[in-house]
Chains A and B, each alone.
Chain A
Amino acid sequence: MLFVGSGRKGPGPFVLACLSYGLPLIFIIAPLASFLTYSFFHMENGQIVRGFSLANYQRFFTDAIFIPVLWRTCVLCFSVAALATLIGFPVAFLLSTLKGRMRYYLLLMVLVPLLMSYIIKIYSIRSILGGNGFLNRFLLWTGLIEKPLTLFVFNLNAVLLTLTVLLIPFAILPIFLSLERIPRTLIDASSDLGASGLQTFVRIVLPLSLPGVITAATFVFVLAIGDFLTPQMVGGQSGFTFGRIVYSQFGTAFNWPFGAALSAILAVVVIAVIAAGGRFNRQRP
């Protein structure tokens, strides 16, 4: 539109085109390319050997540690996605039944915590779940338990709960948007034809909101699997996830090529999940 069809030739369009292809090329494609290249290097005596080798990928598939950790991490993130979607759906549904300004204010209230410091939220949740935290003190006070629970302290349960709490808003938003898009006439038609509220919900609302539910679950899964801070902070020794292994290759373990290979594998998992979600949504009319 701008800079085209005017018949005038100046330096503008050329500069703009250079910028438009140059910037993503330098700052997005080149880094990704160098990262993929690194995954084919390997380490010897603390030095990076620059030569093509599949050693990193071979190590991933043959070493007994990595595949189980990746699998466990995927299960964890699927659980987070399922939990967040299950809890998020009723909230999104309630929001979609509200009228006028109220629904936007509530929606905004769902989103505001996303703007709050991630680190502080994790720290705060950790202190709530901890051995001497609010949850245990509350349960002790009510007399439900006699000594502090250690169920949610520095293990995968803690990671699961923390990630779910952090990511719920990402589940609510897509579900709300899909619910909002359901034409009112369909619901009126359903009740005019004598369907009960429950029947209308199960036969009309639920199927039509499914694309939003799938998008929500995909969102949450991708965000959860890429997070290495939450497991690091609330996971303790037993809450070891794939993201933590990747990150440790760039810190304590200091094996950048292997870390690059592991993140390439992570990228494959993420792409597969996004593709599966997109495919599922496209198959529906």
Chain B
Amino acid sequence: MMRLSWAATVILVAITGLVFVLLYGPLFIPIASSFFAASHGDVQWDAPSLEAYRGLAANRSILDAVTNTLIVGFSATLLSLVTGTALAIHYCGGKSAAREAMQFAVFLPFLMPPIITGLSLLIFFRETGIPRSLATVIIGHTVFIQALAYRTIVVRLQTLGPSMVEASTDLGASAWQTLIHIILPNLQSTLIGAGILSFALSFDETLITLLVTGTANTLPIRLWAMMRLGFAPDINALVAVILGLTILLCIVAVRQFLPANPEHQD
């Protein structure tokens, strides 16, 4: 873009540095603490220890919560990719007011504050007599993240254009054959990208989950419950593990999303 003067660069770099401290400080402190012993809720900075990690490995309730979170994350991601693809194919099938209305409805849970999406589902489940459980959490997450999956897939379908599908049907393929052999292969990288993002969103979803969850807790809910009683040092170890996994996920996502050669635009 534009060339900066020396003074402007220094100021901008200083502010950016401050923002990075603000963003990463809250992540760094629990990770650093995880490698030291704790007593009376205070970290003993002179006593390095892996006690927190041993505690984590033995903490059934946290490990159960992690398992639940993974179940919910994978189910919601899969469901939202399936429904997102179906809705996107239907939306791209023509122009009509009904299609626009459908699209608006799909976007609503993403636009509205999560507390409203959560409350609506909570009241709906109560009225229809569906007991709150992991299944209701999965529905809550799917409703929320499908908006994102849907949007990415629509964008991809629109750039693809109708010619390939027309060619396929002209050559005598059935709709299902076209779906399997033409549409899905072309959506592959989009689906992977949307899947990663959906999973990440589901993994940390707290506000909707808190309202629709039953007795089986996901990780954020478990953490929320623990936090009111004070924190166990195991959590610090967990943060370190999750941060490591997230960075791994990011590297995968970067390879997926980043243009192979972004140098052409400066």
Contact = CB atoms under 8 A, between A and B. Distances in A.
Interface stretch (A17-25, A58-66, A143-151): A17-25
B220 A119 contact: yes
B249 interface: yes
Contacts of A168: 19, 22-23
Contacts of B183: 2
A227 B15 contact: no
Interface in A223-273: 223, 225-229, 233, 243, 246-247, 250, 256, 259-260, 263, 266-267, 270
Contacts of B124: 30-31, 34-35
Given A6-B175, A97-B4, A100-B266, A123 B231 contact: yes
Most buried by B among A20, A100, A113: A20
B169 A5 contact: yes
Chain B interface mostly helix, strand, loop or mixed? helix
Contacts of B26: 113, 120-121, 124-125, 128, 165
Contacts, number: 246
Nearest to A168: B19
Contacts of A30: 124
Given A1-B92, A100-B262, A250-B211, A119 B105 contact: no
A116 B249 CA distance: 12
B252 interface: no
A179 B90 contact: no
A224 B227 CA distance: 21
A270 B112 contact: yes
A127 interface: yes
Interface residues of B, number: 91
How many chain A residues sit at the interface, stated as a range, is 35 or more
A21 B115 contact: no
B249 A115 contact: yes
Contact of B143 (A25, A27, A34): A27
A23 B150 CA distance: 13
18 contacts: A16-B86, A19-B90, A20-B102, A21-B98, A27-B121, A31-B121, A35-B123, A91-B19, A100-B262, A113-B27, A116-B204, A116-B239, A125-B26, A127-B29, A168-B22, A179-B1, A223-B113, A267-B113
Interface of B: 1-5, 8, 11-13, 15-16, 18-20, 22-27, 29-30, 83, 86-87, 89-94, 98, 102, 105-106, 108-109, 111-117, 119-124, 127, 139, 142-143, 157, 162, 165-166, 169, 174-176, 178-179, 183, 200, 203-204, 206-207, 210-211, 219-220, 223-224, 227, 231, 235, 239, 242-243, 246-247, 249-250, 254, 258, 262-263, 266
Given A16-B90, A93-B12, A100-B266, 4 more contacts: A104-B262, A113-B27, A128-B25, A229-B210
